[in-house]
Amino acid sequence: MALLLTSLVPLCVAIWWANQELHNAAGVWLNDDVDAELDHALEGYKDNVNLIKEDMRHQTDAIAYNETLRGIVRDGDATRTAAELDLIAGRYPELLSLTVEDRDGKVLATHRRGHPLDGATERSLTVVRPISPDPDPPYLVATFAVARAKVDAPETTGKVIEAWHHAKETRGNVYETETGAFAALVGSTMLITLVSGTLLARTVTRRISRLAAAINLVAKGDLSIRVPETGSDEVTELGKTFNRMLGEMDASRARIEFLQRIGAWQEMAQRLAHEIKNPLTPIQLAVQECHRKYKGDDPRFRTLLDTTLEIVEEEVGTLRRLVGDFSNFARLPHAELLEADLREFLRECSEQLGHLELASEASSDGTLDAEELATQDVEVTWVVPEEALPASIDRQMLRRVLINLVRNSVQAVRGKEPSGKVTEGAPSLRGRVRVSACAAGDGAMLTVEDDGPGIPVDKRTRVFDPYFTTKADGTGLGLAIVKKIVVEHGGTIDVEASELLGGAAFRVHLPGPTTRELMAAREAKDRASLRDVSASV
């Protein structure tokens, strides 16, 4: 009703106003004074054209009565006649051509203007006069070039005036026709506007209703809801902003929950390491003491003691390594992010990661054994991008991420049968590992992929959980550490099948140095740090 009323009132006003304007306009222009002036103007145009034609005739008469020209023509000298015509034409700029013909129409001499007649702007006027009073005298043919606008004006003006008189006589019909057409046009426009406005209003209110329903669900704690992003108006922008806000809230909550969960696992790992580490040394010392103090000659018992000592020392060593893994996981520091170039970071890693001293350094904190990087049967390729990739990173922590991912890939490809030809003095190639980086949206992506057996689809969502492992001797902490570091960088990590090599592909998405994801990650890290401080107190 509101749309109908707001359309109907302007429609009525517009029709009334248009009718008034038509009458006013006709009253101003279609009157007797204008008719008289138009008729007077037409007569003036006709008189002007007649004057032009009369002037052309007088000029032709003056040329034909020229005594010098008559004498030369009478002598029959064509050359002198042509020269005289050229001389005479110089005094009449409007002449297009000047020709002298005999009684039979034969041209004795002629003069032409330097350029032909321009049909678009000029019209020609031809006047013929006898040169002498003889019974069969030669004739002078003068053709003049006249501006077309001067000659055509009476005809054009006459048509306009005729149309004007017709319009004046039929203006009553014009009022009715134009007013009706205008009313039909405005009425149809009103109907179209009414229908389209109603439909548009419904689409807007429907989307606002969906947005309100989504807000109610968010108020109940459901951050997975999203509203459709259809259209290109302000409501669509509001929906996009709403969805982006929910995505950021969901990601931030997921980061906080993950960091809290990891913090709980770290606390448990610290307690387990403490509880397991304390009795290891007494157990090992007790068995060693029993082995050392036995002085008997019973070979069977000696063999039993030797075997027991070997087993205990081996298992104690395994437990110590496990305790070391737990301790390193429990003491994992928070990432301190600084702006850097991922291209330079990846280049440094490609130059350092294959060295034995780096492998020894990595093995000292329990993340990588020296033999795993000092291998010659796995080809590790580093693809360093050409363009700069700005990001905010903790170089040591992100380096640890690459070490763990490369270690997993190397271990995976070692489970395959050797491929390639075996050469003397060199082991066969078991597989390949590829490390690369590229720009991805507002941030960057690090990829570590291999041609190993890959990771089953049903286990890809669990490989980053602490203590979940598919290896017989694994602790399940390496990828958990990787994800914690990536989350503290404001990024995400996914595992999928490698399209390039066919094995597993770990993709680390890192946000740019000024993105919302990075700000949310720093906020989540600060909250986790406050929680750690509160727990320690």
438: alpha, beta or left, given left = phi > 0 and alpha = psi -120 to 50? Answer: beta
Q: Which tokens sit at 261?
A: 């969960």
* Integer Cα distance of 351 and 1 in angstroms: 75
Give SS3 for 429: strand
Phi and psi angles of residue 244, each rounded to the nearest 5 degrees, phi first: -65, -40
Q: Are 377 and 432 in contact (CB under 8 A)?
A: no
Distance (Å, rounded) from C-alpha 363 to C-alpha 368? 5
pLDDT score, position 507: 93
Q: Which residues contact 91 (CB under 8 A, 6 or more apart)?
A: none
Nearest to 11 by CA among 170, 187, 162: 187
Instruction: Compute the distance between CA of residue 84 and CA of residue 78 in angstroms, rounded to an integer.
Output: 10
Encode the chain (537 residues) as per-residue pLDDT tens digits: 777 777 777 778 777 777 777 666 666 555 666 667 667 776 777 778 888 888 888 888 888 888 888 888 888 888 888 888 888 888 888 888 888 888 777 888 888 888 888 888 888 888 888 887 777 788 888 888 888 777 777 777 777 777 766 666 666 666 677 777 777 877 788 788 878 878 877 777 777 887 788 788 778 777 777 777 777 777 777 877 877 787 777 777 777 777 777 777 777 766 776 677 778 778 878 877 787 777 777 788 878 878 887 888 777 777 777 777 766 666 666 778 888 889 999 988 888 775 433 343 344 344 444 444 444 578 888 999 989 898 888 888 899 899 989 988 888 887 665 554 444 444 567 788 999 999 988 889 999 999 988 888 888 888 888 777 766 566 677 888 888 888 888 888 999 998 888 889 999 999 887 766 566 656 655 655 555 545 454
Q: Would you say 78 and 86 are in contact if contact means Cβ atoms under 8 Å apart?
A: no
Two structure tokens written together for 158: 């006459």
- Strands 95-101 and 139-147, sheet pairing: antiparallel
Instruction: Count CB-CB contacts under 10 A for residue 451.
Output: 23
CA distances from 193 to 198, 231, 257, 264, 399 (A): 8, 19, 52, 63, 63
CA distance 1 to 387: 61
Output the pLDDT for position 288. 79
Nearest to 421 by CA among 413, 410, 429, 409: 429
Q: Which CATH class is domain 338-416+430-537?
A: alpha beta
Count Cβ atoms within 10 A of the Cβ of residue 30 and give its class: 0-12 exposed, 13-18 middle, 19 or more buried: middle
- Contact in structure between 69 and 131 (CB atoms under 8 Å): yes
Question: Which residues in 241-375 belong to E strands, given as ranges?
Answer: 338-341
What was the pLDDT predicted at 167?
67
Strand partners, 448: 435, 506
CA pair distance 166, 162, nearest whole angstrom: 6
What are the strands of the beta sheet with 492-497, ordered from one edge? 378-383, 431-440, 443-450, 504-510, 492-497
Q: Which class for 397: exposed (0-12), middle (13-18), buried (19 or more C-beta within 10 A)? A: buried
Q: What pLDDT sits at residue 516?
A: 61
Bridge partner residues of 100 (DSSP): 109, 140
- Spatial distance between the Cα atoms of 290 and 297, rounded to a whole number of angstroms: 15
Encoding tokens for residue 24? 């006013």
CATH number of 37-169: 3.30.450
CB-CB contact of 491 with 507 (8 Å)? no
d(CA 221, CA 504): 35
| 408: its two tokens | 């997993």
What is the rounded distance in angstroms from the CA atom of residue 227 to the CA atom of residue 239?
A: 6
Q: Report the DSSP pairing between strands 338-341 and 390-393.
A: antiparallel
